[in-house]
Every structure is written in structure tokens, then in C-alpha cells.
Chain A
Amino acid sequence: MEQTIIDYIKNEIHAGDQSLDIDPEDDLLGSGLLGSMEMMRLVEHLENTFHFRVQPQDMAIENFLTVAAMARYVSAARRA
């Protein structure tokens, strides 16, 4: 899951920039790797790939700040 998200960020959002070194614990927003537009694209991609819906109240730092947080959130949300 983490690798899927990292690959999407590298390939789709940063046009295949393989020099990007993304750690699952990196702050994706504070580092400028993702802005609001990119976050919207990523959320849509996660929803379509993993067949679930992100609820507005879930658009929170603990769920989306890092790749690791997103992977945890998506796994839990799919089970719910």
C-alpha cells in the first residue's frame, strides 16, 4: 500500500521524477510534495483504486500527513 501511494506521487503528481526520495514518514504537505490540488487528485485516486469514500471529517492531519498515515487510514476505512 505504501509503495502504491509513493509510486502515484512520483509518477502521476511529479511526472515520473525518480530522483524523489519519499520516506513513508515524510510530511508531504510541509515539504511541498503535495499541495491542495495534488491532495485532491491523490484522494480521488485512492478512492477509485481501493473502492471506498473518504468522508469530509476524515480529511485530517492524522490520516493524510504522511504516506504511512494514509496507508493506515485506507486499510482501516476499507474494513469499515
Chain B
Amino acid sequence: MIYLLPHTILASADRDPTQEAFRCAGAALTYAELVQRADQLATVLYDFGVRRGDRVGIFLGRSLETAVAIFGILRCGAVYVPLNPKAPESQNHFLLQDCGIRILVTHPSQRRSLLKLLGARPQVQGIVGMSEVEDYPAVDWPTVFAAPPATFAVPRQVETDLAYLIYTSGSTGQPKGIMHSHASGLAFVRNAAARYAFGPQDRFGNHAPIYFDISQLAYFGAPLVGATAVLATDAHTVLPASLGRLFGEERLTVWYSVPLAITQLLNAGALAGQDLTSLRYLFYAGEPLAPRYARQLAELLPTTRIANWYGPAETNVCTVYDLPGPPQDDASIPIGEVWDNTERLIVDDQDQPVATGNSGELLIRATTNMLGYWNQVELSTRAWYTHVTQGGSTERFYRTGDLVREDPVGVLHFLGRRDHQVKIRGYRVELSALEAHLLTHPAVAEAAAVTVQRQADALSIVVAVILRAGDEATVQDLQEHLAAAFPWYALPESLYLRESFPRTGSDKIDRPALQSLLADQVPS
């Protein structure tokens, strides 16, 4: 019976031990090898004192080791927490402290970034995957794989146990840890596998780093059905010609990524000339895909089903829209309808259902939903809309914070964030957090952050600031002020000093008007 995420690889290894589970950069791990290596890692973690429920950090780039790390950590009952080795040290340091990571799983290729992170002296007590890391106890990969397998005690667990934490930037600028259980992770890939009839013959192309929820389709969906997951390397994500070739060379049947990966491929012409006949499905999520790109894709992939998947990481995925054909016009592509085993409400500010056709916040009740935010009781409480049934049981809906509208045929259309959260290159950025931080600068009177579309396929953040009368600060001063507090992807492309803002009737900043003013301004 499969009720924990690592059961997927055990079942697939029983069924077909020599089937390839993961491939990366030409190397592969069969299901039998993956189970053995995961258990060897679990043994080493157990010897380090890792027990059920402990959080273990993964500090890896895109590589085969990510699969061993994820399943090894889960096998000993612990919780995996992916870190982004390229994130600012302060952000990773915060993550380590926030969820109490004591053991990190890494690789020698990450030595430079790891030493920087350890320079901040976090509470780390051990390193796996690299030897000689200052004075930390460390076990390298060859030693892990020489260990006798499975001498750790497999803990007794149930499906609602915490399996992984995905961190996302929050409204205060402080990242928050989204808690997913084995059950919510499995529910996601089961929904997808049932809807699209995935099977052992499928080959899932994965572009997402493991700290993006998009990665979970390949890492758990492929093992669920005994298929093969093909992991793009970090180099593939920067070099489109190689990424394009991966489709044909690996005979990919399923692709799931952010639209940016797809538009990069199209703009570089990297899919032209590739044999794409094996590709059954192309899914994208995280941001809208411009209709003209969807048209280009549909022409290039006449037999591939293209689908827009929608869902905040808190829900995994909750709605899907299978494109009926190439978009006929430039209207945004809908987010579709909730998939199986999922209920939704569209409500106004008073949590009352809106009339069909009106805009409201989307609320989701599903087994794919998160448990809550790590160590954030108040934030977690606010994330739910609860409804007590006649019999006294409680139904919990996740408040997506996204505004949607239902059209006459029951298809949902995405209208934007309720607050000013936007997605830039697939990263969530809270515009209000940028504004709030600018206001901490002594010379700033008012600040407004908006997005503008300067390039056809990418949103940029631009910021306008009104200085306090008599105070002096340069654009560079303010940009440095932001750079000290936010990661690179959240920083504005341009920052303008203004005398005034356009205003609404109630004297609020008229953001749409400001947006069009700034869109026409030359980049600073």
C-alpha cells in the first residue's frame, strides 16, 4: 500500500528493479539503485541522530543526488527542506534557523556557496555529501554509498505526517515554510496521474529546482507510476539549445515547467528541428503564458496536449485548463476548472459567494492542500476559511489570495493577486513589502511599486518614490537600500524619483495610472 512518498520508489523497484527512475546529464539510477542509495543515506542520517519529524536541508543544484537526498531523508521519517544554493546567505541562514536544520545534504560542486553560508555560523551540526568542511562532522557520497544499506530503524508513520517544507517569500518579506504531508504530496501526483493516464512508459522532463513545487511532479509522479524522470541540469536551464535537444534525445513524453522555460526555448528556436513526436503532454504553471506563445507551441506540437495548471504552492495544483486548440485571439488563457477531489468557492471581502461572472477570491478545499505554515500559528489560521457542517465537522478552504471570475461555461479566469503579490521569473515578490521597506528609508515620503511589461514575455518591477521635502537621496541610495533587504529577483528594474503620484478619488495612489505612466518612461 502506497501511503508515504517513499513507498512509490519501493513499489516501483518491486515491480521493475532495472527500470530507470532518474536520469541526469547522461547518468541514471534504476529504481533498485535508488532504493539502495536512499536507504544508505537514511542510515548515515540516522547515525547523525536524525529521527522522525526532524528537518534536513538539501543544498544541491539540479543533479541525481537530489533524488537520493529527497528519498533518503523521507525514508528515515525526516522532513526534507530544499534550499537554493544561489540565494543570498541571509535568506538561507534564515531558513536554517527558522525550521531548525541541523544536517545538510550537499555536493562538492556547492562548496563555495556552502562555505559562505556556514560562515554565518548557523546551528548546523553535520554535512553529508562532502568531506572536510571546516570543523564540521562530514560524510562524503562515496562513504555514504559504501555503507551497509538499511541498518536504520524505519519509523512507524502515517500519511498526514509532515514530508517537506517549501519556503516562499511572505508578506513581511520574511520567507514562510509551506508544510506538506506525504498525503498532500501523493494526492497531487495521483490526481495528475489519473487525469492524464501516466504510465511506466512515460518520461517526465523536469526543469524546476527542488525548491519549486513544480518539481514534485517528476520527483513523485514518475515514481508513483514507475516511469522515468529526466532532470535538466543547471546548465540546461541557461543554455536553450541543449534544453531543446533534451526533448528529442530523451524522448520526453511529459513536460512541466514555468512558462519562462518554454518561451526561452521558443525564442531561441531551440525546439525547431527536434523530434518532438514522443511528447504527449506539455503542462505549465506559475505564471500566465502569452497566447501568442501558446499558438506557436500548438503549431510546433500538433499532437501534444497543452494544459495550464494553476495552484499556489499551498495547494500544489488545484485547477487545470486543457487547451482545446491554438488560442484564437490574445485574450488570457483561463486557469480552467478544479480537478477531481477538489472543491472551490469564489467569495467577496465578507466571505460571501459572489454571483457567477463576478470577481472574487478563490478558496480551495482539497487533499492536496498544505498542513499550514511552519511555526506560524497566526498566519496559518488566517490562511483558512473554515465552514462547520450540520453534523459538526469542519471543512477547511485555503484562501488563495487570487482573484478569479467564473465565465458562463464554468471556466475560471485569473484576474490577479488580492494584495500586490506578483510573480517575476517564477519567484513570488510582494510589491507591498518593497514599498514598506522603502518607507523605512529616512528620506522617503511615499513609495509605489508596480509591474510593467517592457519586454513581450517578462514582467519587470518599477518603483516610484516621492522624497520628503528638503531631504536628499539618490536613486542609487534607494536601490542599495532595497538590495540590502531583498533577493536579486525582487529588485526593481528602474526606480524613479517623482514630485507626485496620480491619485484615485479617495486619494489613494492610482496604481493602474502610475503603471501606464511608468511603462512609457525610459528605463533609468
Contacts and interface: CB of A to CB of B under 8 A. Distances in A.
Pair from one complex: yes
Nearest to B240: A59
Interface string B224-267: 00000000011111111110010000000000000000000000
A56 B270 contact: yes
Contacts of B113: 32
Interface string A26-44: 0101111111110100000
Interface string A17-33: 00010000001011111
A58 B239 CA distance: 9
Contact of A36 (B110, B233, B238): B238
Contacts of A32: 61, 85-86, 110, 112-113, 234
Contact of A29 (B238, B241, B245, B268): B238
Interface in A31-80: 31-37, 39, 56-65
Contacts of A35: 86, 238
B235 A27 contact: yes
Contact of A56 (B86, B237, B269, B488): B269
Nearest to B111: A31
A20 B113 CA distance: 11
Contacts of A64: 235, 238-239
Contacts of A61: 233, 235-236, 239, 242
B268 A30 contact: no
Contact of A30 (B63, B241, B245): B63
Contacts, number: 66
B233 A30 contact: yes
Interface residues of B, number: 24
Contacts of B268: 56-57, 59
Given A31-B109, A32-B86, A32-B112, A60 B241 contact: yes
Contacts of A62: 242
Given A30-B61, A31-B110, A56-B269, A36 B237 contact: yes
Interface string B91-134: 00000000000000000011011000000000000000000000
Contacts of A34: 238
Nearest to A56: B268
A44 B242 CA distance: 19
A49 B394 CA distance: 66
A64 B234 CA distance: 12
A31 B245 CA distance: 22
Contacts of A57: 241, 268-270
B24 to A, nearest CB: 10
Interface string B33-74: 000000000000000000000000000011100000000000
Contact-residue size bin, chain A (C-beta under 8 Å from the other chain): 20 to 34
Secondary structure dominating the interface of B:
helix
A60 B61 contact: no
A49 to B, nearest CB: 20
A59 B270 CA distance: 9
A39 B238 contact: yes
Nearest to A60: B241
Contacts of A39: 238-239
Contact of B242 (A20, A30, A60): A60
A20 B46 CA distance: 35
A7 B344 CA distance: 56
Contact of A59 (B85, B110, B239): B239
B493 to A, nearest CB: 12
Contacts of B234: 29-30, 32
Given A56-B269, A59-B268, A29 B240 contact: no
A65 B26 CA distance: 15
B294 to A, nearest CB: 21
Given A31-B112, A32-B112, A58 B241 contact: yes
A57 B265 CA distance: 11
A62 B375 CA distance: 45
Contacts of B62: 30
Contacts of B237: 36
A59 B233 CA distance: 14
Interface of B: 61-63, 85-86, 109-110, 112-113, 233-242, 245, 268-270, 488
> 6 tightest A-B contacts by CB?
A60-B241, A29-B235, A61-B242, A56-B268, A29-B234, A60-B242
11 contacts: A32-B112, A33-B112, A34-B238, A35-B238, A36-B237, A56-B268, A56-B270, A57-B241, A59-B268, A60-B245, A62-B242
